[in-house]
């Protein structure tokens, strides 16, 4: 038997036994690879005497074609099998019951920040942010509160280094400084965010939230401040009329300064905003002190402005009837699922969307 016939018989037998793609590819290269058995037979053809050459080469070509076709067919079959097997095993059973899932809730503070941002954006304020870790200059000095100023003591500051150069910001007012240093007037911004003071009881937490407001332009006066706050409070508490009073106060960064109280009434243990004879303090404000403007390179003889700082947690407590501030930050899931908001709920204070 010639070598060619032997190779053919041997590999036809091997082929019958193989049912694995890897093995068949291996077998393919044993025959047709660079020094494969069939390839080697082709190389020998040149040295065969001319009488035999024709018969042998046609024998070799036949063997090559037969083996080649069989191998390709087998590879094809095996690949189809593999796909079918996958389809069968990975079939999706659409009749299975769905997986249970819990929908998260929006924290009241996040909700109130969204409401505040949306209300102020209606009258042209944009939202700015600043870092929780501030330097002493932005938090105090630039805001007209130099070293040894008594107002620094009121803030119970968390300092981060021995030299008292870095601290956790005690209010959102440093965002005023950052915004004005980074831009040119006019400015019309609010800056909501976290603030920190070493203080803790039923109405104070060491971490709390404020929103700062700043409007600087030519010819801004206290009437603008009053109008702006009146609008905000009515929108936020969703009432048409509000009782509001400005009480003289002191902040180093404003002159004159005021604290704002709103009128309320207690009905069946509930606080009703806008009615009644009781007063509740909700924010501090004033006209930006000329020294602050000078510190941030704004000319106080050309520009004036008002600023305000509101406690966000307090607003959330008032609007949504929550009476212990500490629960806000305990991450108790039961509390959150009671006081939290459905992500798909749209409160009416999102004007435009719901009205």
Q: Using N-to-C axis directions, what is the helix angle for 21-32 and 3-17, rounded to 10°?
A: 170
Of residues 131, 202, 142, 225, the one with CA closest to residue 177: 142
The interface region with ligand DAH, picked from 17-25, 62-70, 178-186, 307-315 by CB under 6 A, is: 307-315
Among 125, 140, 187, 308, binds ligand DAH (CB under 6 A): 308
Q: How far apart are CA 163 and CA 337, in angstroms?
A: 43
Q: Which stretch binds ligand DAH (CB under 6 A): 184-192, 272-280, 281-289, 327-335?
A: 281-289
Nearer to ligand DAH, 11 or 208 (CB): 208
| Binds ligand DAH by CB under 6 A, chosen from 284, 303, 313, 341 | 284
User: What is the rounded distance in angstroms from the CA atom of residue 141 to the CA atom of residue 148?
Assistant: 10
Smaller CB separation from ligand DAH, 27 or 216: 216
| Enclosing H/E stretch for 44 | helix 37-44
Distance CA 174, CA 140 (A): 8
| DSSP state letters, 282-302 | EEEEEEEPHHHHHHTT--TTT
Task: Note the residue count of the chain.
Answer: 355
The structure tokens listed for 162 are 């021995």
Instruction: Find the part of the chain contacting ligand DAH (CB under 6 A) among 12-20, 68-76, 302-310, 336-344.
Output: 302-310
The answer to the question of residue 251 lying near ligand DAH (CB under 6 A) is yes
Task: Name the residue number minimizing CB distance to ligand DAH.
Answer: 309
Give yes or no for residue 173 binding ligand DAH (CB under 6 A). Answer: yes
SS3 171: coil
Task: Determine the size of the site formed for ligand DAH (CB under 6 A).
Answer: 11
Considering the rule CB under 6 A, would residue 305 count as an interface residue with ligand DAH?
no
Residue number with CB closer to ligand DAH (40 or 203): 203
Nearer to ligand DAH, 111 or 170 (CB): 170
The reply on whether position 309 binds ligand DAH by CB under 6 A is yes
The interface mask with ligand DAH, positions 203-232, x = CB under 6 A, is ---------x--------------------
CB of 171 to ligand DAH, least distance (A): 3
Stretch touching ligand DAH by CB under 6 A, among 45-53, 72-80, 274-282, 305-313:
305-313
Give CA 5 to chain center in angstroms. 72
Q: What is the DSSP string of 232-280?
A: HHHHHHT-S---EEEEEEEETTEEEEEEEEEEEEEETTEEEETSSSEEE
- Give the binding site for ligand DAH (CB under 6 A): 171, 173, 212, 251, 254, 284-286, 307-309
């Amino acid at each position: 038997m010639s070598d060619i016939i032997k190779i053919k018989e041997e590999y036809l037998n091997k082929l019958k036994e193989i049912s694995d793609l890897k093995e068949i590819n291996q077998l393919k290269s044993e025959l047709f690879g660079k020094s494969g058995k069939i390839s080697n037979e082709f190389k020998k053809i040149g040295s065969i005497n001319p009488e035999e050459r024709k018969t042998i080469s046609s024998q070799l070509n036949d063997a090559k074609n037969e083996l080649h076709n069989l191998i390709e067919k087998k590879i094809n079959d095996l690949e189809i099998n593999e796909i079918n097997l996958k389809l069968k095993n990975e079939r999706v059973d659409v009749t299975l019951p769905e997986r249970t899932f819990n929908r998260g809730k929006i924290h009241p503070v996040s909700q109130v920040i969204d409401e505040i941002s949306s209300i102020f954006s209606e009258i042209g304020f944009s939202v700015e942010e600043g870092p929780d870790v501030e330097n002493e200059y932005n938090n105090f000095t630039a805001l007209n509160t130099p070293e040894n100023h008594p107002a620094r003591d009121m803030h119970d500051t968390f300092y981060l280094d021995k030299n008292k150069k870095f601290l956790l910001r005690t209010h959102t007012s440093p965002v005023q400084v950052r915004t004005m240093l980074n831009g040119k007037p006019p400015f019309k911004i609010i800056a909501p965010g976290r603030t920190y003071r070493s203080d803790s009881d039923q109405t104070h937490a060491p971490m709390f939230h404020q929103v700062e407001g700043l409007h600087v332009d030519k010819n801004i006066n206290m009437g603008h401040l009053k109008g702006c706050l009146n609008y905000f409070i009515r929108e936020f508490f969703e009432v048409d009329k509000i009782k509001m009073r400005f009480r003289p106060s002191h902040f180093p960064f404003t002159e004159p300064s005021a604290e704002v109280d709103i009128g309320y009434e207690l009905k069946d243990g509930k606080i009703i905003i806008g009615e009644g004879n009781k007063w509740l303090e909700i924010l501090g404000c004033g006209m930006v002190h000329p020294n602050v403007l000078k510190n941030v390179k704004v000319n106080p003889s050309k520009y004036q402005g008002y600023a305000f700082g509101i406690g966000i947690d307090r607003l959330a407590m008032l609007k949504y009837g929550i009476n212990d501030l500490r629960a806000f930050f305990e991450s108790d899931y039961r509390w959150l699922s009671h006081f939290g908001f459905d992500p798909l709920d749209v409160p009416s204070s999102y004007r435009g969307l719901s009205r």
